[in-house]
Structure 1
Amino acid sequence: MTQQSLKQKLKSGPCMGLFSKTTDSAMVEAAGLGGMDFIILDMEHGPATLETMHHHVRAARLGGVAPVIRARGIDAHAIGSALDTGAEGVQVPNINTADQAREAVAAARFHPYGQRGVCRFVRAARFGTQPKDDYFAEANEATLILQVEGTEGVRNLDEILEVEGFDVLFVGPYDLSQSVGKPGQVEAPEVIELIDEIARKAEARGILLGAFSDQLARSRDLIKGGFNYLAHSVDVNVFAEACQRLKGQING
């Protein structure tokens, strides 16, 4: 774990990170050196393999940024394999029902909190050199983030929030926009209303909130609105836009 765990940081105040869709671990390390609190290593929409994730997690540790892997879906093997890399957390997309939330928790936790597949000869357990009891106790402290990003999930939100064992409820605005028939229109009133509804219900239960934003003003508003786990944009897009600004400044 990093000196102060991501879970501890989230409880003490807002944390900022970004999504990563690169296969270059140097970009991951640089995000940490640039001051990010966490980086979401994306296996749902990104090209990186599980082998690459092992390199990314090592790079994140070197850079001092908490590595979180977004799994491909609600799949016990995918969730367990993500945590086996030594990632500090796992993020599970497309949670629409309480049963799916319970399935994600079971896949991410060892007994007595879940049914995660057991192998201690993995990077997360220092390839078997870490004392077993220490490993299993520490592993159950990994940060688990569940994504609600569709109208079905919002309809079932009360039941989802009753599920124990996860740490952050993450709102996916782009998928929400898709679910209301306005793909990409993340500032549409229908999308904002759904996000506000999710936030109200999560806050009432004392559950930490997360969200994605690719607009600076919106990111600031989300942090002010109580979203402690804020992922701003994507590493490759941040780099591309920085190049655009640089060229404009030089040519201007």
Structure 2
Amino acid sequence: MSQPNLLNHFKTQLNHQACLGIFSKTTDSNVVEAAGYSGLDFIILDMEHGPATLETMHNHVRAAKSSQLFPIIRAKGVDAHAIGSALDTGALGVQVPNVSTAQQAKEAVNAARFHPKGMRGVCRFVAAANFGTLDKQTYFEQANEALVILQVEGVEGIKNLDEILSVVGFDVLFIGPYDLSQSIGRPGEVDSPEVLALMKQIAEKAKAKGIILGAFSDSLERNQSLKQEGFNYIAYSVDLNIFSNALSDLVRGI
């Protein structure tokens, strides 16, 4: 499947059904490629909490595309250079953490889109533009179709949620339950009534605006409940933790 087809296919899925992905903190691109053969819909290559360098991300993105896995890079934060560099790799989406205000949301969108939708820094001699061999206009048009996912994960973001949801140009609102639990003084208690109530409040407002919802899950049961609650972008656990748990299951089975 070509890059535009992979992008269009995933965006169509995302608008009509729940899609399942994982976070990735590996530095081995073989792990990313293998994840694609599992049938997962997407992978979030993590530069906020993961150790992989930008050079490694280029290889991760290639590996994902080779197995028809939709590659998204989570940037380090609301930083124009980090967002642009992530998309320069050829990633088909960028996820921006710790968005707390409408101004930050605008800055994230602005950094991810070329004119007239934003002011992303321009260099067409990058992997995303086939190193300058892709027609310039084609590249700019295709690049502006990349997914932009904004993470709202704290009480300040919730306080400013109406204004954030009014920002034009992003595709998915992602709720980080762990950071949300930390922000209300209950770190790690992602299943607490307070955290679940806040997630429900965010979800209701996003759905009223017609915005696609995303969230992190670390249990199979939570995957199902998020799906039932209308979340179409479900990021389950982390590749290395999934690997470790699978080995533990193997050991227990002996």
* TM-score, L = length of structure 2: 0.97
Q: Contact 1:89–1:144 (CA<8 Å) still a contact in 2?
A: yes
Q: Does 1:3 align with 2:1?
A: no
Go from structure 1 to structure 2 and tell me whether the alpha carbon gap of 1:112 and 1:2 turns closer, same or farther (over 3 Å shift).
Answer: closer
- The alpha-carbon deviation at position 8 of structure 1 amounts to 2.1
User: Match of 1:219?
Assistant: 223
Residue 242 of structure 1 aligns to a residue whose secondary structure is helix
In structure 2, which of residues 33, 55, 69 is the aligned counterpart of residue 51 of structure 1?
A: 55
Q: Contact 2:21–2:40 (CA<8 Å) still a contact in 1?
A: yes
User: Match of 1:106?
Assistant: 110
What are the within-5 Å matches in structure 2 for residues 1-252 of structure 1?
1=3, 3-5=5-7, 6-250=10-254
Quick one: distance in 2 between partners of 1:133 and 1:165? 20
Residue 195 of structure 2 aligns to a residue whose secondary structure is helix
Task: Give unpaired runs (5+ residues) of structure 2.
Answer: none
Residue 64 of structure 2 aligns to a residue whose secondary structure is helix
Q: Contact 2:4–2:142 (CA<8 Å) still a contact in 1?
A: no
Quick one: distance in 1 between partners of 2:217 and 2:71? 19
Residue 253 of structure 2 aligns to a residue whose secondary structure is helix
Residue 22 of structure 2 aligns to a residue whose secondary structure is strand
Task: Give unpaired runs (5+ residues) of structure 1.
Answer: none
Quick one: distance in 1 between partners of 2:13 and 2:139? 21
Q: Deviations over 1:8-43 (max 9, x none)?
A: 221121110000000000110011001110000000
Residue 7 of structure 1 aligns to a residue whose secondary structure is helix
Residue 34 of structure 1 aligns to a residue whose secondary structure is coil
Residue 3 of structure 1 aligns to a residue whose secondary structure is helix
Q: Contact 1:209–1:227 (CA<8 Å) still a contact in 2?
A: yes
Q: Contact 2:6–2:70 (CA<8 Å) still a contact in 1?
A: no
Quick one: distance in 2 between partners of 1:107 and 1:2? 21
Cα-Cα RMSD: 0.7
Q: Contact 1:2–1:61 (CA<8 Å) still a contact in 2?
A: no
Percent of aligned pairs with the same amino acid: 65
- The alpha-carbon deviation at position 176 of structure 1 amounts to 0.2
Q: Contact 1:16–1:230 (CA<8 Å) still a contact in 2?
A: yes
Q: Deviations over 1:199-238 (max 9, x none)?
A: 0000000000000000111111001111000000000000
Quick one: distance in 2 between partners of 1:197 and 1:219? 18
- The alpha-carbon deviation at position 48 of structure 1 amounts to 0.2
Q: Contact 1:2–1:66 (CA<8 Å) still a contact in 2?
A: no
Q: Contact 1:15–1:228 (CA<8 Å) still a contact in 2?
A: yes
